[in-house]
Chains A and B, each alone.
Chain A
């Protein structure tokens, strides 16, 4: 038995095995046929869905327009993106950490006298492996596309701005070694991410704040001062990206070695053209450094696992079990609701309830937002980023605009949700005995004012910044994205209302749909659950990509679909309001 010092004895392992056996027996051991079916289904999904998706992504990324955009991504931008990923996992740890066993496992194993570094190791390893797999997939797909990009591989001498020294650079497709180094580095970085995620779940607010500040500083400085890429894991990933991008961008260390001009590396902005024009062959040390740092960071894991508290562990386990059950039963809104932060502060903020009703509800939404500041700040940031992406997308070539427009529409849809509490509340009032002196329709319409204002104003500011930062010239090119965003904002809010009024999953959709590959009824459920998201992607993203080419048609189409979806949303609301 454990001595309480954190050491794991042979007895501990024996007891854990026995405990897991009891839990497995309680759940009913899967039969060989069940396991075989799961393997068969997983293989089918990988072959029928996964492989074509990967192929589609690689082919999409080697299209000339897309390849140009990917090749233009600077190492600093990769450093910033990886730093943002670190911040997201650290902040997300409290909502969903890497260690989320089933509730029974928390009560039966984690709450036993066994050391938690032993009982909780398996869920952590599972999460870390999932992160590593995702990293390999993303780095592999992008890297593969850079290998297959059309063109002749050639080494060229690139002048180093005003300097006399030259270094060897490459154009066209990258070399396999660069992709291998990038993928290895991504795996090392995924280990760091997994540990950061665990710190987010376990660490104090001070620890979390420290990681956020360090990652944020590392990412931003890597973007602004090229030499800083040498000093942080986020920068190392950026350095590994550089030769993958095709050698058009710089490999900073190589440049420094070639010129001997180390001081310039630490110049704000990297000395202008110097940085942007240097290309050098693959260097392996950042990959090795990332793997070593990732492995060393794993030494923190046992202590962190021992430090996880039972209460929050069980809360997360129960919450995610509930979310999983709701998703399985088709209640996606309920599942998302289970993740929504409850207000705990700002209860003394005064709320005036005079004036027109829409103003009362608007004030209520604003006061409510102040009571979940973290959630609303994150939502508003994402909303601004969505607006910026739409603004930027108008300056991109036609073939690749969708790469920014589609994710922007999706993120805007997610972000506006934090302002939609009053809309959801209005919808919920439809199915219960009358409590409010306004119809559900009136409550929903008044509730929609806040998300509409937030989307137009906050997203509009982002849109403006994106337009100013893009390569688009002024005049009409400036007016188009600024005019398009408010329309897109209305569309997103209408979609949110449409989704809120969804109600319970129709039983009809659970009827078996026999196909040669098995029962396809789950596809019906999936489509029903994700109709609003699909509309956000296809209509919001698709028409945003179309807008600069055919603005009139895009506006007419969007308004037409918007009116239809709004009518369907209110029809859903009427149906919910009807007595059973």
Chain B
């Protein structure tokens, strides 16, 4: 069995760059050609109406969708999640993650860390720190199927944050959360920025964009 996933791009130029990336599937345009550029320690907010292509752009940046036009790179490397180095660098929260239904929340976070080679006390500490920071530590022994929609969103965010990353891609991280919890999400994004990650997030929350984004682009419906 192979070891955990490849080298980090942290040592490379920490930059997300997309030049004219667009997506057309079977004649349907999902995303009009778009350009973005995100430096290390910066957060870019992606705004736009429903159906404008925000999630499509994020899927391209996480390597889950091949662009029909243009190029998208991380540290000069073409984004493709078959590339282990890209997988190692990009953590993404787009939709519901693949949960293991038989693990409690705390075990789940520890399990994710273990797959990245972080084991023992370090994995325990990372899980506990995130559970406390997102105020879901009282739910540590619950199974993922036992959460409310807001709690599920916070836990999904925790799974994306517990693994190592250089690039963080988040699709509407504030959805289904009350104002106080949205503040917690903003805190975690700011912390990730401080730690040098490049962040791209789609959001309809002007307050969140105002607080954490260094730059914002608006994606127009195709």
Question: In whole angstroms, what is the CA distance A69 to B104 when docked?
Answer: 50
Within 8 A of A (CB), among B52-87: 59, 62-66, 80-82, 84, 87
* B153 is an interface residue with CB less than 8 A from chain A: no
Contact with B along A422-445 (1 / 0, CB 8 A): 100100110111111111001101
* B193 is an interface residue with CB less than 8 A from chain A: no
* A446 is an interface residue with CB less than 8 A from chain B: yes
What B residues does A348 contact at CB under 8 A? 141
From the candidates B63, B102, B115, B120, name the one contacting A579 in the complex (CB within 8 A).
B63
Question: In whole angstroms, what is the CA distance A421 to B145 when docked?
Answer: 15
Question: In whole angstroms, what is the CA distance A372 to B160 when docked?
Answer: 27
From the candidates A421, A432, A446, name the one contacting B100 in the complex (CB within 8 A).
A421
Q: Is the CB–CB distance between B98 and A435 below 8 Å? A: yes
Question: In whole angstroms, what is the CA distance A437 to B163 when docked?
Answer: 8
Contact with B along A346-382 (1 / 0, CB 8 A): 0110010110011010001001100110000000000
From the candidates A368, A372, A439, A577, name the one contacting B5 in the complex (CB within 8 A).
A439
What B residues does A435 contact at CB under 8 A? 91, 97-98, 112, 159-160, 163
**From residue B127, how far is it (CB to closest CB) to chain A in Å?**
10
* B150 is an interface residue with CB less than 8 A from chain A: no
* A206 is an interface residue with CB less than 8 A from chain B: no
* B4 is an interface residue with CB less than 8 A from chain A: yes
Question: In whole angstroms, what is the CA distance A442 to B115 when docked?
Answer: 10
Q: Is the CB–CB distance between A434 and B87 below 8 Å? A: yes
Q: Is the CB–CB distance between B82 and A579 below 8 Å? A: yes
* A307 is an interface residue with CB less than 8 A from chain B: no
Give 16 pairs: A residue, B residue, CB < 8 Å, sorted on A: A340-B101, A342-B143, A351-B107, A353-B123, A360-B111, A364-B111, A432-B95, A433-B169, A434-B81, A437-B4, A438-B5, A442-B1, A579-B65, A579-B80, A580-B65, A580-B66
Q: Is the CB–CB distance between B93 and A433 below 8 Å? A: yes
Nearest B residue to A429, CB-CB: B98
**From residue B92, how far is it (CB to closest CB) to chain A in Å?**
4
Q: Is the CB–CB distance between A357 and B114 below 8 Å? A: yes
Interface, chain B (partner A; CB < 8 A): 1-2, 4-5, 59, 62-66, 80-82, 84, 87-88, 90-95, 97-104, 107, 110-112, 114-117, 119-120, 123, 141-143, 145, 159-160, 163, 169
What B residues does A578 contact at CB under 8 A? 82
Interface, chain A (partner B; CB < 8 A): 340, 342-344, 347-348, 351, 353-354, 357-358, 360, 364, 367-368, 371-372, 421-422, 425, 428-429, 431-439, 442-443, 445-446, 577-580
Question: In whole angstroms, what is the CA distance A351 to B62 when docked?
Answer: 31
Q: Which of A422, A437, A439, A443 has the most CB of B within 10 A?
A: A437
From the candidates A343, A364, A368, A433, name the one contacting B64 in the complex (CB within 8 A).
A433
Main secondary structure of the interface of B (DSSP, over half): loop
What A residues does B123 contact at CB under 8 A? 353
Q: Is the CB–CB distance between A428 and B98 below 8 Å? A: yes
Q: A343-B102, A434-B92, A435-B160 are in contact. Are A579 and B81 (CB under 8 A)?
A: yes
Question: In whole angstroms, what is the CA distance A436 to B118 when docked?
Answer: 12
What B residues does A371 contact at CB under 8 A? 102, 143
Question: In whole angstroms, what is the CA distance A347 to B107 when docked?
Answer: 10
What A residues does B1 contact at CB under 8 A? 357-358, 442, 445-446
Question: In whole angstroms, what is the CA distance A69 to B65 when docked?
Answer: 59
Nearest B residue to A337, CB-CB: B101
**From residue A402, how far is it (CB to closest CB) to chain B in Å?**
36
Q: Is the CB–CB distance between B119 and A354 below 8 Å? A: yes
Question: In whole angstroms, what is the CA distance A320 to B51 when docked?
Answer: 32
Q: Is the CB–CB distance between B115 and A438 below 8 Å? A: yes
Nearest B residue to A357, CB-CB: B1
Q: A433-B81, A436-B112 are in contact. Are A347 and B104 (CB under 8 A)?
A: yes
Given contacts A353-B107, A579-B65, 9 further A-B contacts (CB under 8 A): A340-B101, A342-B143, A354-B120, A421-B101, A428-B98, A429-B98, A433-B62, A579-B80, A579-B82
**From residue A417, how far is it (CB to closest CB) to chain B in Å?**
14
What A residues does B95 contact at CB under 8 A? 432
**From residue B143, how far is it (CB to closest CB) to chain A in Å?**
5
Nearest A residue to B143, CB-CB: A343
Q: Is the CB–CB distance between A367 and B102 below 8 Å? A: yes
Q: Is the CB–CB distance between A347 and B143 below 8 Å? A: yes
From the candidates A429, A432, A439, name the one contacting B2 in the complex (CB within 8 A).
A439
Nearest B residue to A438, CB-CB: B115
Q: Is the CB–CB distance between A436 and B115 below 8 Å? A: yes
Q: Is the CB–CB distance between B102 and A432 below 8 Å? A: no
Nearest A residue to B62, CB-CB: A433
**From residue B78, how far is it (CB to closest CB) to chain A in Å?**
11
Question: In whole angstroms, what is the CA distance A489 to B62 when docked?
Answer: 39
**From residue A28, how far is it (CB to closest CB) to chain B in Å?**
31
Q: Is the CB–CB distance between B64 and A579 below 8 Å? A: yes
Q: Which of B91, B115, B145 has the most CB of A within 10 A?
A: B115
Please provide the 10 A-B residue pairs with the shortest distance between their CB atoms, ordered closest to farther.
A368-B102, A437-B116, A433-B92, A437-B115, A428-B98, A437-B4, A436-B115, A434-B87, A429-B98, A347-B141
Q: Is the CB–CB distance between B91 and A442 below 8 Å? A: no
**From residue B93, how far is it (CB to closest CB) to chain A in Å?**
7
Question: In whole angstroms, what is the CA distance A433 to B200 when docked?
Answer: 14
What A residues does B110 contact at CB under 8 A? 351, 353
Q: Is the CB–CB distance between A438 and B2 below 8 Å? A: yes
What A residues does B141 contact at CB under 8 A? 347-348
Q: Which of A357, A421, A429 has the most CB of B within 10 A?
A: A357
Q: Is the CB–CB distance between A433 and B90 below 8 Å? A: yes
**From residue B35, how far is it (CB to closest CB) to chain A in Å?**
21
Question: In whole angstroms, what is the CA distance A357 to B81 when docked?
Answer: 22
**From residue B25, how far is it (CB to closest CB) to chain A in Å?**
8
Q: Which of B1, B84, B92, B169 has the most CB of A within 10 A?
A: B1
Question: In whole angstroms, what is the CA distance A450 to B183 when docked?
Answer: 42
Question: In whole angstroms, what is the CA distance A360 to B104 when docked?
Answer: 15
What B residues does A364 contact at CB under 8 A? 100, 102-103, 107, 111
Question: In whole angstroms, what is the CA distance A186 to B188 when docked?
Answer: 66
Nearest A residue to B94, CB-CB: A433
Question: In whole angstroms, what is the CA distance A434 to B91 when docked?
Answer: 7
Question: In whole angstroms, what is the CA distance A439 to B99 when docked?
Answer: 15
What B residues does A577 contact at CB under 8 A? 81-82
Nearest A residue to B120, CB-CB: A354
Nearest B residue to A427, CB-CB: B98
Nearest B residue to A431, CB-CB: B98
What B residues does A439 contact at CB under 8 A? 2, 5, 84
What A residues does B169 contact at CB under 8 A? 433
What A residues does B2 contact at CB under 8 A? 438-439, 442
What B residues does A351 contact at CB under 8 A? 103, 107, 110
Nearest B residue to A347, CB-CB: B141
Nearest B residue to A436, CB-CB: B115
Q: Is the CB–CB distance between B64 and A438 below 8 Å? A: no
**From residue B180, how far is it (CB to closest CB) to chain A in Å?**
26
What B residues does A354 contact at CB under 8 A? 119-120
Q: Is the CB–CB distance between A579 and B66 below 8 Å? A: yes
**From residue A454, how far is it (CB to closest CB) to chain B in Å?**
15
**From residue A69, how far is it (CB to closest CB) to chain B in Å?**
41
